[in-house]
Amino acid sequence: MLGGMTVMTTLLTRTMTASIGGLRGEMSGLRGEMNGRFDGLRGEMDASISGLRAEMNARFDAMGTRIDHLDKDIAALSRRVWGEPSGE
């Protein structure tokens, strides 16, 4: 009877160890998959943010150019209306 219990305990232990090992493998696989997804998402977000940054810089540069031209136009109009400033 003692031998039968030993065999059953050994078989049960081996079965549980194999099940735990399989579960560990599945969890490692899921962890790898999630890491891959997060890395992909990080890449997409970096690309989107870089594109947005480039677009915003281009628009700010265009606005700076417009403001420079507007400043020159206002200076020309003020000289035309009030004349050149004298040294008084």
Could you give the CA distance from residue 61 to residue 58 in angstroms, rounded to a whole number? 5
Q: Could you tell me the two tokens for 64?
A: 């700076």
Could you give the CA distance from residue 34 to residue 23 in angstroms, rounded to a whole number? 16
Cα torsion angle, 61, 64, 69, 72, sign:
negative
Per-residue pLDDT tens over the stretch 35-69: 999 999 999 999 999 999 999 999 999 999 999 89
pTM: 0.57
Assess whether pLDDT exceeds 80 at residue 2.
no
